[in-house]
Structure 1
Protein backbone atom coordinates (compact mmCIF):
# COMPACT_ATOMS: atom_id res chain seq x y z
CA UNK A 1 0.00 0.00 0.00
CA UNK A 2 3.09 2.23 -0.04
CA UNK A 3 2.45 3.60 3.48
CA UNK A 4 -1.00 4.82 2.46
CA UNK A 5 -2.32 4.02 5.93
CA UNK A 6 0.71 5.13 7.94
CA UNK A 7 -0.44 7.04 11.05
CA UNK A 8 -4.05 7.04 9.78
CA UNK A 9 -6.71 6.40 12.43
CA UNK A 10 -8.83 3.31 11.78
CA UNK A 11 -11.92 2.36 13.82
CA UNK A 12 -13.18 -1.22 13.89
CA UNK A 13 -16.23 -2.42 15.83
CA UNK A 14 -16.45 -6.06 16.83
CA UNK A 15 -12.68 -5.95 16.93
CA UNK A 16 -12.19 -9.06 19.07
CA UNK A 17 -13.84 -11.45 16.63
CA UNK A 18 -11.83 -13.45 14.11
CA UNK A 19 -12.51 -11.04 11.25
CA UNK A 20 -12.12 -7.97 13.45
CA UNK A 21 -8.69 -9.11 14.68
CA UNK A 22 -7.58 -9.99 11.15
CA UNK A 23 -8.51 -6.52 9.93
CA UNK A 24 -6.82 -4.86 12.89
CA UNK A 25 -3.62 -6.80 12.24
CA UNK A 26 -3.73 -5.94 8.54
CA UNK A 27 -3.98 -2.22 9.26
CA UNK A 28 -1.33 -2.45 11.98
CA UNK A 29 1.01 -4.01 9.42
CA UNK A 30 0.41 -0.90 7.31
CA UNK A 31 1.43 1.28 10.29
CA UNK A 32 -2.04 2.62 10.99
CA UNK A 33 -3.33 3.66 14.42
CA UNK A 34 -6.00 1.04 15.07
CA UNK A 35 -8.82 1.61 17.57
CA UNK A 36 -11.10 -1.35 18.14
CA UNK A 37 -14.18 -1.87 20.26
CA UNK A 38 -16.18 -4.83 21.47
CA UNK A 39 -18.58 -5.73 24.27
CA UNK A 40 -16.01 -7.15 26.70
CA UNK A 41 -14.37 -5.45 29.67
CA UNK A 42 -10.70 -4.51 29.35
CA UNK A 43 -9.28 -7.45 31.30
CA UNK A 44 -11.39 -9.94 29.36
CA UNK A 45 -10.40 -8.32 26.07
CA UNK A 46 -6.71 -8.73 26.91
CA UNK A 47 -7.26 -12.36 27.78
CA UNK A 48 -9.04 -12.95 24.47
CA UNK A 49 -6.37 -11.12 22.47
CA UNK A 50 -2.95 -10.80 24.20
CA UNK A 51 -1.73 -8.49 21.41
CA UNK A 52 -3.64 -5.72 23.18
CA UNK A 53 -0.93 -5.85 25.84
CA UNK A 54 1.99 -5.79 23.42
CA UNK A 55 1.18 -3.61 20.41
CA UNK A 56 2.59 -0.44 21.93
CA UNK A 57 1.04 2.85 20.93
CA UNK A 58 -0.67 1.65 17.76
CA UNK A 59 -3.53 -0.55 19.01
CA UNK A 60 -6.24 0.63 21.41
CA UNK A 61 -9.31 -1.05 22.83
CA UNK A 62 -12.57 0.28 24.29
CA UNK A 63 -15.61 -1.52 25.62
CA UNK A 64 -18.52 -0.24 23.53
CA UNK A 65 -22.04 -1.55 23.06
CA UNK A 66 -22.72 -0.60 19.43
CA UNK A 67 -26.47 -0.98 20.01
CA UNK A 68 -26.25 2.08 22.28
CA UNK A 69 -25.92 5.16 20.07
CA UNK A 70 -24.71 7.30 22.95
CA UNK A 71 -21.82 4.95 23.66
CA UNK A 72 -20.88 4.92 19.99
CA UNK A 73 -21.00 8.72 19.70
CA UNK A 74 -18.86 9.08 22.83
CA UNK A 75 -16.31 6.58 21.49
CA UNK A 76 -15.97 8.30 18.13
CA UNK A 77 -15.69 11.73 19.79
CA UNK A 78 -13.03 10.51 22.22
CA UNK A 79 -10.95 8.86 19.51
CA UNK A 80 -11.08 12.00 17.40
CA UNK A 81 -10.12 14.18 20.37
CA UNK A 82 -7.23 11.90 21.36
CA UNK A 83 -5.80 10.87 17.99
CA UNK A 84 -7.09 13.42 15.51
CA UNK A 85 -9.03 12.91 12.33
CA UNK A 86 -10.43 9.43 11.72
CA UNK A 87 -9.69 8.09 8.23
CA UNK A 88 -11.35 4.66 8.08
CA UNK A 89 -14.46 3.28 9.76
CA UNK A 90 -15.29 -0.43 9.64
CA UNK A 91 -18.69 -1.46 10.97
CA UNK A 92 -17.98 -5.09 11.73
CA UNK A 93 -19.83 -5.94 14.96
CA UNK A 94 -22.54 -8.55 14.46
CA UNK A 95 -24.38 -11.38 16.15
CA UNK A 96 -26.32 -14.33 14.79
CA UNK A 97 -29.12 -16.57 16.05
CA UNK A 98 -29.53 -19.93 14.35
CA UNK A 99 -33.30 -20.39 14.50
CA UNK A 100 -36.17 -20.28 12.04
CA UNK A 101 -39.08 -17.85 12.37
CA UNK A 102 -41.23 -20.31 14.31
CA UNK A 103 -38.68 -20.59 17.12
CA UNK A 104 -37.10 -17.12 17.01
CA UNK A 105 -38.16 -14.95 19.95
CA UNK A 106 -39.04 -11.27 19.75
CA UNK A 107 -36.05 -10.43 21.92
CA UNK A 108 -33.66 -12.37 19.69
CA UNK A 109 -35.01 -10.54 16.65
CA UNK A 110 -34.66 -7.16 18.35
CA UNK A 111 -31.13 -7.94 19.52
CA UNK A 112 -29.88 -8.84 16.04
CA UNK A 113 -31.41 -5.72 14.52
CA UNK A 114 -29.95 -3.61 17.33
CA UNK A 115 -26.41 -4.92 16.85
CA UNK A 116 -26.24 -5.74 13.14
CA UNK A 117 -28.22 -2.83 11.71
CA UNK A 118 -28.66 -0.11 14.35
CA UNK A 119 -25.09 -0.53 15.59
CA UNK A 120 -23.70 -0.32 12.07
CA UNK A 121 -25.71 2.85 11.44
CA UNK A 122 -24.66 4.48 14.72
CA UNK A 123 -20.96 3.92 14.05
CA UNK A 124 -20.96 4.70 10.33
CA UNK A 125 -23.01 7.86 10.68
CA UNK A 126 -20.99 9.12 13.64
CA UNK A 127 -17.81 8.65 11.62
CA UNK A 128 -19.34 10.19 8.50
CA UNK A 129 -20.26 13.31 10.45
CA UNK A 130 -16.74 13.37 11.88
CA UNK A 131 -15.33 13.16 8.34
CA UNK A 132 -17.49 16.12 7.29
CA UNK A 133 -16.52 18.21 10.34
CA UNK A 134 -12.83 17.48 9.84
CA UNK A 135 -13.04 17.78 6.03
CA UNK A 136 -11.70 14.25 5.59
CA UNK A 137 -12.42 12.19 2.49
CA UNK A 138 -12.83 9.12 4.65
CA UNK A 139 -13.85 5.56 3.91
CA UNK A 140 -16.59 3.50 5.55
CA UNK A 141 -16.88 -0.26 5.12
CA UNK A 142 -19.77 -2.41 6.27
CA UNK A 143 -19.13 -6.11 6.88
CA UNK A 144 -22.15 -7.60 5.21
CA UNK A 145 -22.95 -11.06 3.92
CA UNK A 146 -24.18 -12.93 0.89
CA UNK A 147 -27.15 -13.71 3.18
CA UNK A 148 -28.35 -10.20 2.30
CA UNK A 149 -29.58 -11.49 -1.06
CA UNK A 150 -29.87 -15.27 -0.58
CA UNK A 151 -32.57 -16.65 1.71
CA UNK A 152 -31.21 -18.61 4.67
CA UNK A 153 -34.10 -20.36 6.43
CA UNK A 154 -32.29 -20.81 9.74
CA UNK A 155 -30.84 -17.28 9.80
CA UNK A 156 -33.90 -15.06 9.22
CA UNK A 157 -33.02 -12.19 11.55
CA UNK A 158 -29.40 -12.17 10.44
CA UNK A 159 -30.36 -12.23 6.76
CA UNK A 160 -32.88 -9.40 7.12
CA UNK A 161 -30.40 -7.30 9.10
CA UNK A 162 -27.75 -7.77 6.40
CA UNK A 163 -30.25 -6.90 3.66
CA UNK A 164 -31.02 -3.69 5.55
CA UNK A 165 -27.30 -3.06 5.91
CA UNK A 166 -26.90 -3.15 2.13
CA UNK A 167 -29.52 -0.45 1.62
CA UNK A 168 -27.99 1.55 4.46
CA UNK A 169 -24.66 1.37 2.63
CA UNK A 170 -26.17 2.61 -0.62
CA UNK A 171 -28.21 5.38 0.99
CA UNK A 172 -25.26 6.70 2.99
CA UNK A 173 -22.99 6.45 -0.04
CA UNK A 174 -25.27 8.69 -2.05
CA UNK A 175 -25.72 11.32 0.65
CA UNK A 176 -22.08 11.56 1.68
CA UNK A 177 -20.58 11.36 -1.82
CA UNK A 178 -20.81 15.15 -2.01
CA UNK A 179 -18.16 15.29 0.72
CA UNK A 180 -15.82 12.82 -0.96
CA UNK A 181 -16.72 10.12 1.56
CA UNK A 182 -16.89 6.57 0.22
CA UNK A 183 -19.20 3.92 1.69
CA UNK A 184 -18.96 0.29 0.62
CA UNK A 185 -19.78 -3.24 1.74
CA UNK A 186 -17.78 -6.46 1.80
CA UNK A 187 -20.19 -9.41 1.57
CA UNK A 188 -18.46 -12.74 2.26
CA UNK A 189 -19.85 -16.23 1.80
CA UNK A 190 -18.62 -19.14 3.92
CA UNK A 191 -15.91 -17.86 6.27
CA UNK A 192 -13.74 -19.84 8.67
CA UNK A 193 -14.55 -17.45 11.50
CA UNK A 194 -16.93 -16.97 14.40
CA UNK A 195 -19.56 -19.62 14.99
CA UNK A 196 -18.71 -21.45 11.77
CA UNK A 197 -15.09 -21.80 12.87
CA UNK A 198 -16.16 -23.23 16.22
CA UNK A 199 -18.42 -25.80 14.55
CA UNK A 200 -15.94 -26.74 11.84
CA UNK A 201 -13.02 -27.05 14.25
CA UNK A 202 -14.89 -29.80 16.10
CA UNK A 203 -16.24 -31.44 12.94
CA UNK A 204 -13.96 -31.29 9.92
CA UNK A 205 -16.46 -33.27 7.87
CA UNK A 206 -18.95 -30.41 8.06
CA UNK A 207 -16.34 -27.99 6.74
CA UNK A 208 -15.59 -30.31 3.84
CA UNK A 209 -19.29 -30.50 3.03
CA UNK A 210 -19.53 -26.71 3.05
CA UNK A 211 -16.44 -26.42 0.87
CA UNK A 212 -17.93 -28.87 -1.63
CA UNK A 213 -20.94 -26.60 -2.13
CA UNK A 214 -18.82 -23.58 -3.06
CA UNK A 215 -18.19 -23.44 -6.83
CA UNK A 216 -14.57 -22.37 -6.33
CA UNK A 217 -14.17 -25.09 -3.71
CA UNK A 218 -12.64 -22.95 -0.96
CA UNK A 219 -13.63 -21.59 2.44
CA UNK A 220 -12.68 -17.95 3.02
CA UNK A 221 -10.19 -17.13 5.76
CA UNK A 222 -10.54 -14.00 7.92
CA UNK A 223 -7.17 -12.73 6.65
CA UNK A 224 -8.51 -12.79 3.09
CA UNK A 225 -11.39 -10.54 4.06
CA UNK A 226 -8.92 -8.18 5.73
CA UNK A 227 -6.97 -7.88 2.47
CA UNK A 228 -10.16 -6.96 0.61
CA UNK A 229 -10.96 -4.30 3.20
CA UNK A 230 -7.47 -2.78 2.83
CA UNK A 231 -7.98 -2.72 -0.92
CA UNK A 232 -11.45 -1.17 -0.90
CA UNK A 233 -10.33 1.58 1.49
CA UNK A 234 -7.30 2.44 -0.63
CA UNK A 235 -6.87 4.93 -3.45
CA UNK A 236 -7.06 1.97 -5.83
CA UNK A 237 -10.83 2.20 -5.30
CA UNK A 238 -11.24 5.99 -5.17
CA UNK A 239 -14.15 5.86 -7.63
CA UNK A 240 -15.99 3.06 -5.81
CA UNK A 241 -18.87 3.90 -3.49
CA UNK A 242 -22.22 2.31 -2.69
CA UNK A 243 -20.82 -1.01 -3.88
CA UNK A 244 -21.30 -4.46 -2.39
CA UNK A 245 -18.22 -6.56 -3.09
CA UNK A 246 -19.53 -10.11 -2.94
CA UNK A 247 -16.73 -12.57 -2.21
CA UNK A 248 -18.56 -15.88 -1.86
CA UNK A 249 -16.67 -18.20 -4.17
CA UNK A 250 -19.63 -18.31 -6.52
CA UNK A 251 -22.32 -19.32 -3.99
CA UNK A 252 -24.62 -16.61 -5.33
CA UNK A 253 -24.41 -18.18 -8.79
CA UNK A 254 -26.09 -21.34 -7.59
CA UNK A 255 -28.31 -19.82 -4.88
CA UNK A 256 -29.28 -16.29 -5.95
Structure 2
Protein backbone atom coordinates (compact mmCIF):
# COMPACT_ATOMS: atom_id res chain seq x y z
CA UNK A 1 0.00 0.00 0.00
CA UNK A 2 1.73 3.18 -1.21
CA UNK A 3 0.83 6.72 -0.30
CA UNK A 4 -1.06 7.27 -3.59
CA UNK A 5 -3.01 4.01 -3.42
CA UNK A 6 -6.73 4.70 -4.03
CA UNK A 7 -6.12 8.45 -3.97
CA UNK A 8 -8.30 10.34 -6.45
CA UNK A 9 -6.27 12.36 -8.95
CA UNK A 10 -7.67 14.81 -11.52
CA UNK A 11 -5.70 15.83 -14.62
CA UNK A 12 -6.87 18.33 -17.22
CA UNK A 13 -5.43 18.02 -20.71
CA UNK A 14 -5.11 14.34 -19.97
CA UNK A 15 -4.85 13.15 -23.58
CA UNK A 16 -1.65 15.02 -24.38
CA UNK A 17 1.75 13.38 -24.04
CA UNK A 18 2.52 14.96 -20.68
CA UNK A 19 -0.99 14.39 -19.33
CA UNK A 20 -0.86 10.73 -20.35
CA UNK A 21 2.54 10.27 -18.73
CA UNK A 22 1.36 11.82 -15.46
CA UNK A 23 -1.77 9.68 -15.49
CA UNK A 24 0.30 6.54 -16.04
CA UNK A 25 2.66 7.46 -13.20
CA UNK A 26 -0.22 7.78 -10.74
CA UNK A 27 -1.92 4.64 -12.05
CA UNK A 28 1.31 2.75 -11.44
CA UNK A 29 1.10 3.91 -7.82
CA UNK A 30 -2.45 2.59 -7.43
CA UNK A 31 -4.30 5.90 -7.74
CA UNK A 32 -7.75 6.44 -9.24
CA UNK A 33 -7.18 8.85 -12.11
CA UNK A 34 -9.81 11.02 -13.79
CA UNK A 35 -8.70 12.89 -16.89
CA UNK A 36 -10.41 15.46 -19.05
CA UNK A 37 -9.76 16.94 -22.46
CA UNK A 38 -11.61 18.63 -25.30
CA UNK A 39 -12.14 15.50 -27.41
CA UNK A 40 -15.19 13.28 -27.63
CA UNK A 41 -15.16 10.02 -25.63
CA UNK A 42 -14.77 8.08 -28.88
CA UNK A 43 -11.68 10.02 -29.89
CA UNK A 44 -10.37 9.84 -26.33
CA UNK A 45 -10.57 6.03 -26.40
CA UNK A 46 -8.48 6.03 -29.57
CA UNK A 47 -5.86 8.39 -28.15
CA UNK A 48 -5.72 6.61 -24.79
CA UNK A 49 -6.34 2.84 -25.17
CA UNK A 50 -6.27 2.36 -21.38
CA UNK A 51 -9.76 3.91 -21.29
CA UNK A 52 -11.03 0.71 -22.88
CA UNK A 53 -9.83 -1.37 -19.92
CA UNK A 54 -12.25 -1.06 -17.00
CA UNK A 55 -9.76 -2.67 -14.61
CA UNK A 56 -7.21 0.12 -14.97
CA UNK A 57 -8.86 2.85 -12.88
CA UNK A 58 -8.68 5.57 -15.54
CA UNK A 59 -11.78 7.63 -16.31
CA UNK A 60 -12.48 10.28 -18.93
CA UNK A 61 -14.78 13.26 -19.38
CA UNK A 62 -14.98 15.73 -22.24
CA UNK A 63 -14.46 19.14 -20.64
CA UNK A 64 -13.70 22.59 -22.04
CA UNK A 65 -11.52 24.02 -19.26
CA UNK A 66 -12.16 27.57 -20.44
CA UNK A 67 -15.74 27.12 -19.21
CA UNK A 68 -15.80 27.33 -15.43
CA UNK A 69 -19.16 25.59 -15.09
CA UNK A 70 -17.97 22.57 -17.06
CA UNK A 71 -14.88 22.26 -14.88
CA UNK A 72 -16.92 22.59 -11.68
CA UNK A 73 -19.40 19.95 -12.86
CA UNK A 74 -16.59 17.55 -13.76
CA UNK A 75 -14.87 17.94 -10.39
CA UNK A 76 -18.16 17.46 -8.54
CA UNK A 77 -19.02 14.36 -10.61
CA UNK A 78 -15.65 12.73 -9.94
CA UNK A 79 -15.96 13.48 -6.22
CA UNK A 80 -19.47 12.03 -6.11
CA UNK A 81 -18.40 8.84 -7.90
CA UNK A 82 -15.04 8.16 -6.24
CA UNK A 83 -14.99 10.18 -3.03
CA UNK A 84 -12.71 12.93 -1.82
CA UNK A 85 -10.18 14.25 -4.32
CA UNK A 86 -6.55 14.42 -3.21
CA UNK A 87 -4.63 15.85 -6.19
CA UNK A 88 -5.54 18.30 -8.95
CA UNK A 89 -3.18 18.83 -11.89
CA UNK A 90 -3.87 21.79 -14.17
CA UNK A 91 -2.21 20.62 -17.37
CA UNK A 92 -4.45 21.74 -20.25
CA UNK A 93 -2.90 24.36 -22.51
CA UNK A 94 -3.01 25.89 -25.98
CA UNK A 95 -0.08 27.36 -27.89
CA UNK A 96 0.03 29.60 -30.95
CA UNK A 97 3.32 30.01 -32.83
CA UNK A 98 3.01 33.62 -33.99
CA UNK A 99 4.56 36.96 -33.12
CA UNK A 100 2.54 39.91 -31.83
CA UNK A 101 2.07 41.40 -35.30
CA UNK A 102 0.50 38.18 -36.55
CA UNK A 103 -1.44 37.12 -33.45
CA UNK A 104 -5.19 37.74 -33.64
CA UNK A 105 -7.36 38.93 -30.78
CA UNK A 106 -9.22 35.61 -30.77
CA UNK A 107 -5.97 33.62 -30.57
CA UNK A 108 -4.80 35.73 -27.65
CA UNK A 109 -8.11 35.30 -25.88
CA UNK A 110 -8.20 31.56 -26.53
CA UNK A 111 -4.81 31.00 -24.91
CA UNK A 112 -5.70 33.12 -21.89
CA UNK A 113 -9.03 31.31 -21.55
CA UNK A 114 -7.44 27.87 -21.58
CA UNK A 115 -3.98 28.40 -20.10
CA UNK A 116 -4.84 30.86 -17.35
CA UNK A 117 -8.60 30.81 -16.75
CA UNK A 118 -8.74 27.04 -17.16
CA UNK A 119 -5.88 26.56 -14.71
CA UNK A 120 -7.68 28.78 -12.20
CA UNK A 121 -11.01 26.95 -12.57
CA UNK A 122 -9.30 23.59 -12.15
CA UNK A 123 -7.09 24.50 -9.20
CA UNK A 124 -9.56 26.60 -7.26
CA UNK A 125 -12.36 24.09 -7.78
CA UNK A 126 -10.19 21.31 -6.38
CA UNK A 127 -9.03 23.46 -3.46
CA UNK A 128 -12.59 24.23 -2.39
CA UNK A 129 -13.40 20.51 -2.32
CA UNK A 130 -10.19 19.82 -0.39
CA UNK A 131 -11.40 22.18 2.32
CA UNK A 132 -14.91 20.76 2.34
CA UNK A 133 -13.54 17.22 2.73
CA UNK A 134 -10.76 18.23 5.16
CA UNK A 135 -8.11 16.93 2.75
CA UNK A 136 -4.56 18.29 2.80
CA UNK A 137 -4.51 18.10 -0.97
CA UNK A 138 -2.01 18.97 -3.67
CA UNK A 139 -2.38 21.21 -6.69
CA UNK A 140 0.20 21.17 -9.47
CA UNK A 141 0.29 23.67 -12.32
CA UNK A 142 2.05 22.63 -15.52
CA UNK A 143 3.87 25.81 -16.37
CA UNK A 144 6.75 26.39 -18.75
CA UNK A 145 10.18 27.92 -18.80
CA UNK A 146 8.57 30.21 -21.39
CA UNK A 147 6.96 31.92 -18.41
CA UNK A 148 10.46 32.89 -17.29
CA UNK A 149 12.32 33.71 -20.51
CA UNK A 150 11.08 35.84 -23.40
CA UNK A 151 10.22 33.89 -26.55
CA UNK A 152 9.87 35.77 -29.83
CA UNK A 153 7.03 33.68 -31.30
CA UNK A 154 5.13 32.61 -28.18
CA UNK A 155 3.70 35.86 -26.84
CA UNK A 156 0.31 34.71 -25.58
CA UNK A 157 1.66 31.41 -24.28
CA UNK A 158 4.55 33.05 -22.44
CA UNK A 159 2.35 35.69 -20.84
CA UNK A 160 -0.25 33.12 -19.79
CA UNK A 161 2.40 30.88 -18.22
CA UNK A 162 3.97 33.81 -16.39
CA UNK A 163 0.52 34.59 -14.99
CA UNK A 164 0.09 30.96 -13.93
CA UNK A 165 3.25 31.33 -11.82
CA UNK A 166 1.69 34.18 -9.83
CA UNK A 167 -1.57 32.24 -9.62
CA UNK A 168 0.40 29.38 -8.09
CA UNK A 169 2.10 31.60 -5.53
CA UNK A 170 -1.00 33.52 -4.48
CA UNK A 171 -3.09 30.36 -4.14
CA UNK A 172 -0.32 28.67 -2.19
CA UNK A 173 -0.30 31.49 0.35
CA UNK A 174 -4.06 31.55 0.83
CA UNK A 175 -4.61 27.80 1.03
CA UNK A 176 -1.59 26.97 3.19
CA UNK A 177 -3.72 27.50 6.30
CA UNK A 178 -5.77 24.47 5.20
CA UNK A 179 -2.74 22.25 4.68
CA UNK A 180 -3.11 22.49 0.90
CA UNK A 181 0.10 22.64 -1.10
CA UNK A 182 0.21 24.45 -4.47
CA UNK A 183 3.23 24.19 -6.76
CA UNK A 184 4.29 24.61 -10.38
CA UNK A 185 6.57 22.56 -12.58
CA UNK A 186 7.98 24.49 -15.52
CA UNK A 187 9.60 22.22 -18.14
CA UNK A 188 12.00 23.36 -20.82
CA UNK A 189 12.34 21.51 -24.13
CA UNK A 190 10.18 18.38 -23.97
CA UNK A 191 9.83 15.57 -26.47
CA UNK A 192 6.06 15.91 -26.41
CA UNK A 193 3.18 17.55 -28.23
CA UNK A 194 4.01 19.69 -31.26
CA UNK A 195 7.75 19.45 -30.63
CA UNK A 196 7.60 15.66 -30.68
CA UNK A 197 5.84 15.69 -34.06
CA UNK A 198 8.35 18.13 -35.57
CA UNK A 199 11.40 16.35 -34.16
CA UNK A 200 10.16 12.95 -35.32
CA UNK A 201 10.14 14.28 -38.88
CA UNK A 202 13.46 16.10 -38.51
CA UNK A 203 15.77 14.64 -35.83
CA UNK A 204 18.38 17.26 -36.68
CA UNK A 205 16.13 19.90 -35.16
CA UNK A 206 15.97 17.93 -31.91
CA UNK A 207 19.76 17.69 -31.84
CA UNK A 208 19.95 21.42 -32.47
CA UNK A 209 17.57 22.10 -29.57
CA UNK A 210 19.53 19.81 -27.25
CA UNK A 211 22.77 21.58 -28.17
CA UNK A 212 21.64 24.82 -26.52
CA UNK A 213 20.59 23.10 -23.29
CA UNK A 214 23.48 23.29 -20.80
CA UNK A 215 22.90 19.69 -19.68
CA UNK A 216 22.62 18.70 -23.34
CA UNK A 217 19.43 16.67 -23.05
CA UNK A 218 15.76 16.95 -24.03
CA UNK A 219 13.14 16.07 -21.42
CA UNK A 220 10.81 13.13 -21.86
CA UNK A 221 7.21 13.29 -20.65
CA UNK A 222 7.69 10.49 -18.13
CA UNK A 223 10.51 12.45 -16.48
CA UNK A 224 8.08 15.30 -15.85
CA UNK A 225 5.58 12.79 -14.48
CA UNK A 226 8.08 11.45 -11.96
CA UNK A 227 8.84 14.97 -10.80
CA UNK A 228 5.11 15.59 -10.30
CA UNK A 229 4.90 12.45 -8.15
CA UNK A 230 7.73 13.74 -5.98
CA UNK A 231 6.10 17.15 -5.60
CA UNK A 232 2.88 15.53 -4.38
CA UNK A 233 4.61 13.06 -2.06
CA UNK A 234 4.81 13.28 1.71
CA UNK A 235 8.56 13.76 1.50
CA UNK A 236 7.84 17.16 -0.12
CA UNK A 237 5.44 18.25 2.63
CA UNK A 238 7.21 21.59 3.07
CA UNK A 239 7.12 22.46 -0.63
CA UNK A 240 4.46 25.03 -1.53
CA UNK A 241 4.36 28.11 -3.73
CA UNK A 242 7.41 26.75 -5.53
CA UNK A 243 8.19 26.81 -9.24
CA UNK A 244 10.52 24.00 -10.22
CA UNK A 245 12.12 24.92 -13.54
CA UNK A 246 12.97 21.58 -15.09
CA UNK A 247 14.82 22.84 -18.14
CA UNK A 248 18.34 21.46 -18.04
CA UNK A 249 19.67 24.96 -17.42
CA UNK A 250 17.99 26.74 -20.35
CA UNK A 251 16.82 29.59 -18.14
CA UNK A 252 20.41 30.14 -17.04
CA UNK A 253 21.58 30.92 -20.55
CA UNK A 254 18.38 32.66 -21.64
CA UNK A 255 17.41 34.78 -18.60
Pairing of 1:105-254 with structure 2 (within 5 A): 105-254=104-253
Q: Extract structure 1 runs of 4+ deviating beyond 6 A.
A: none
Cα deviation, residue 54, structure 1:
1.6
1:19 aligns with 2:18: yes
Match for residue 73 of structure 2?
A: 74
Pairing of 1:87-102 with structure 2 (within 5 A): 87-102=86-101
Question: C-alpha deviations, 1:156-188, integer Å up to 9, x for none?
Answer: 000000000000000000000000000000000
Between the aligned partners of 2:83 and 2:194, the Cα distance in structure 1 is 35
Match for residue 61 of structure 2?
A: 62
TM-score, with normalisation over the residues of structure 1?
0.99
Match for residue 31 of structure 2?
A: 32
Alpha-carbon contact 2:10-2:35 (below 8 Å) kept = yes
Cα deviation, residue 57, structure 1:
5.2
Cα deviation, residue 19, structure 1:
0.2
Between the aligned partners of 1:246 and 1:235, the Cα distance in structure 2 is 21
Q: Which secondary structure state, in structure 1, belongs to the residue aligned with residue 196 of structure 2?
A: helix
Match for residue 43 of structure 1?
A: 42
Alpha-carbon contact 2:9-2:85 (below 8 Å) kept = yes
Between the aligned partners of 2:207 and 2:172, the Cα distance in structure 1 is 38
Task: Give the unaligned 5+ runs of structure 2.
Answer: none
Between the aligned partners of 2:115 and 2:24, the Cα distance in structure 1 is 23
Between the aligned partners of 1:246 and 1:55, the Cα distance in structure 2 is 36
Question: C-alpha deviations, 1:23-82, integer Å up to 9, x for none?
Answer: 000000000000000000100100111111025251100000000000000001111111
TM-score, with normalisation over the residues of structure 2?
0.99
Between the aligned partners of 2:142 and 2:25, the Cα distance in structure 1 is 15
Between the aligned partners of 1:228 and 1:55, the Cα distance in structure 2 is 27
Task: Give the unaligned 5+ runs of structure 1.
Answer: none
Q: Which secondary structure state, in structure 2, belongs to the residue aligned with residue 169 of structure 1?
A: helix
Between the aligned partners of 1:213 and 1:179, the Cα distance in structure 2 is 42
Alpha-carbon contact 2:50-2:56 (below 8 Å) kept = no
Between the aligned partners of 2:129 and 2:56, the Cα distance in structure 1 is 23
Between the aligned partners of 1:241 and 1:148, the Cα distance in structure 2 is 18
Between the aligned partners of 2:207 and 2:58, the Cα distance in structure 1 is 35
Q: Which secondary structure state, in structure 2, belongs to the residue aligned with residue 3 of structure 1?
A: coil
Question: C-alpha deviations, 1:193-221, integer Å up to 9, x for none?
Answer: 00100110100000000000000000000
Q: Which secondary structure state, in structure 1, belongs to the residue aligned with residue 87 of structure 2?
A: strand
Q: Which secondary structure state, in structure 2, belongs to the residue aligned with residue 31 of structure 1?
A: coil
